[in-house]
Copies of this chain bind each other. A is one copy, B any other.
């Protein structure tokens, strides 16, 4: 870490900083310029909160040299992580583009099986569906809970598709793990750290969605929480971020895909349905996501979107989805990926 002192800092202040750093085991490299003194502190950042240095008298700025994450970092592990979900499905660099599709909420046995068969036929690799739904209004449909998990599992088994579903509450993780092949952590829970710790102890992969106000670095820190508990099978999922633009529900930050690929070895999928909030933007943004290097997509499909209990406006009809799957194949091939 580098400590830049203020132009008017005194020798006493400089010494105070140096002493404090030494006390915490840092090696010191002092550089007195004409205008400023700069202190290099060599050692392990986590030994001391950066913050506590930042506020010592005379300190102008702290520049951390190491990234705050470790296990997720490409500096630690430079080979791309491939997350194995089932015998037939692995997600990651070099693998076939993985499309996870299905309705926002699990609504009924018949409906779920219908969607499962349709997306399977169109080429989806996994089935999604929410049993626990985080809704902004307490008066909106909150999901079928355990019953929803059972229906989803049934639909997955009948079609041979692995299933992805969200856990909202640390108390539900064990149950979700029993029914799902991948536990999803939703955008609103990206910094629900106790939930992250809980899924970090699960034995199945975790799909972690980026929060609407989270920087890429924040997303990586949340993945670090999961990995630090022992579960290294983490798939990152890009959704939209909160901006001033109102033409879309969120702004889908696709540049996060190549940014993450530089910083981390974890696979990245993109959710263009939540990322835009509008079904008629989903096809364009799905193709863009694949061209940008995404390892997979998460797409909402509903046979009758206008009857969906949640997120209808961003759901594709099965025939539009089938059409998109064909187009995606071409784009995937154009960027050198199997599809």
Copies in the complex: 4
**Known interface pairs A213-B244, A259-B248, A259-B281. Does A228 touch B138 (Cβ–Cβ under 8 Å)?**
yes
Please measure, in the bound complex, the distance between the C-alpha atom of A305 and the C-alpha atom of B335, giving whole angstroms: 26
Nearest residue (CB) in B for A222 is: B136
Closest CB-CB distance, A51 to chain B, in whole Å? 5
Segment of A30-38, A121-129, A149-157 engaged in the interface with chain B: A30-38
Segment of A84-92, A111-119, A187-195 engaged in the interface with chain B: A187-195
In the complex, which residues of chain B have a beta carbon less than 8 angstroms from the beta carbon of A46? 137, 139-140
Asked whether B55 lies within 8 Å of A305 as measured between CB atoms, the reply is: yes
In the complex, which residues of chain B have a beta carbon less than 8 angstroms from the beta carbon of A258? 280-281, 284-285
Asked whether B65 lies within 8 Å of A38 as measured between CB atoms, the reply is: yes
In the complex, which residues of chain B have a beta carbon less than 8 angstroms from the beta carbon of A275? 255
Q: Is the interface of A mostly helix, strand, loop or mixed?
A: mixed
Segment of A93-101, A174-182, A201-209, A308-316 engaged in the interface with chain B: A308-316
**Known interface pairs A2-B63, A31-B40, A169-B170. Does A247 touch B256 (Cβ–Cβ under 8 Å)?**
yes
Nearest residue (CB) in B for A29 is: B31
A242 CB contact (under 8 Å) in B65, B242, B284, B290: B242
Residue A246, interface by CB 8 Å: yes
**Known interface pairs A31-B31, A281-B255, A309-B49. Does A291 touch B288 (Cβ–Cβ under 8 Å)?**
yes
Closest CB-CB distance, A216 to chain B, in whole Å? 5
**Known interface pairs A7-B75, A292-B285. Does A253 touch B246 (Cβ–Cβ under 8 Å)?**
no
In the complex, which residues of chain B have a beta carbon less than 8 angstroms from the beta carbon of A225? 138
Please measure, in the bound complex, the distance between the C-alpha atom of A243 and the C-alpha atom of B245, giving whole angstroms: 9
| Contact indicator per residue, chain A 60-81, by CB within 8 Å of chain B (1) or not (0) | 0101011011000001000000
Task: Tell me the count of chain A residues lying within 8 A, CB to CB, of chain B.
Answer: 108
Residue A252, interface by CB 8 Å: yes
In the complex, which residues of chain B have a beta carbon less than 8 angstroms from the beta carbon of A241? 243-245, 251
| Contact indicator per residue, chain A 247-266, by CB within 8 Å of chain B (1) or not (0) | 11001111111110010000
Q: Which 6 A-B pairs have the closest CB atoms?
A: A213-B213, A291-B291, A288-B292, A334-B334, A258-B284, A330-B334
User: Would you list 17 pairs from A and B whose C-beta atoms are within 8 A, ordered by A residue?
Assistant: A2-B63, A31-B40, A46-B137, A54-B313, A55-B305, A55-B306, A138-B225, A188-B192, A216-B247, A241-B243, A242-B242, A243-B244, A245-B253, A251-B255, A258-B280, A262-B280, A331-B335
A residues lining the B interface (CB < 8 Å): 2, 4, 7, 20, 27, 29, 31, 33-36, 38, 40, 42, 46, 49, 51-56, 61, 63, 65-66, 68-69, 75, 134-141, 168-171, 188-189, 191-194, 197, 211-213, 215-218, 221-222, 224-225, 228-229, 241-248, 251-259, 262, 275-276, 279-281, 284-285, 287-293, 305-313, 327, 330-331, 333-335
